[in-house]
Chains A and B, each alone.
Chain A
Amino acid sequence: DGGITQSPKYLFRKEGQNVTLSCEQNLNHDAMYWYRQDPGQGLRLIYYSQIVNDFQKGDIAEGYSVSREKKESFPLTVTSAQKNPTAFYLCASSIFRLTGYLLGANVLTFGAGSRLTVL
């Protein structure tokens, strides 16, 4: 079955440490996204990538970094510069076409999420 795999599901980090969250998809989607969810709040966009070797900042990119070396993979690094990293992190993907709107491109498929706790 096609889907998005995020790992680890739970992660504990000491202050000052960088951590990397993995996101792999086998949906053949071109676009991938990282969202953050805090308790009682909606999802906020951290970074997104629409093609390999290219990515853009979302609304809350400070303290995070990403790479997109392969179509299937979009890892997120939470750096020590992120002031409040404890949150639930969600990776998502969607179809995308470089030229012109594609019906269905608005629909995101999400992974199961990774919960990061800073000790």
Chain B
Amino acid sequence: DQQVKQNSPSLSVQEGRISILNCDYTNSMFDYFLWYKKYPAEGPTFLISISSIKDKNEDGRFTVFLNKSAKHLSLHIVPSQPGDSAVYFCAASFKTHTNAGKSTFGDGTTLTVKP
């Protein structure tokens, strides 16, 4: 049973518009969520995170929203730029010292931003 799901394998948006990437999870015990960005043949890089005690976290053009009751989070990128074209992974983990680094990842969404 996949505990973290990204139901859209791909997303295409126009430069300057908003990109919205979605993620659903099934395990209500997850209490920390992260987004990573990955370019081809490279490792993922951390983008933004949110604790379950919050419903929004913002960092420049990137905002993550968390809806705990729906077990849903989303990443908003505004405005989208061609350099944002990459695979975005949603990850969920726990705020405990033994499990903090053991993230469960979604399958990723490939974002293409067209000039």
Contact = CB atoms under 8 A, between A and B. Distances in A.
A and B are partners in one complex rather than unrelated chains:
yes
Interface string A88-111: 001010101111111001111111
Contact of A94 (B95, B96, B101): B101
B46 A41 contact: no
B103 interface: yes
A16 to B, nearest CB: 27
Interface string B101-115: 111011110000000
A106 B100 contact: yes
Interface string B85-105: 000010001111110111101
Contacts of A112: 41-43
Contacts of A98: 97
B34 A111 contact: no
A43 interface: yes
B49 A106 contact: yes
A58 B102 contact: yes
Nearest to A6: B43
29 contacts: A4-B43, A33-B102, A35-B105, A40-B9, A40-B107, A41-B107, A41-B108, A45-B102, A50-B98, A50-B101, A90-B44, A92-B43, A92-B101, A96-B97, A100-B97, A102-B97, A105-B97, A105-B100, A105-B101, A106-B93, A106-B103, A108-B46, A108-B101, A110-B36, A112-B42, A112-B43, A113-B41, A113-B42, A115-B41
Interface of A: 4, 6, 31, 33, 35, 40-45, 48, 50, 58, 90, 92, 94, 96-102, 105-113, 115
- Top 6 closest A-B pairs, CB basis? A110-B43, A42-B105, A105-B100, A94-B101, A43-B105, A42-B107
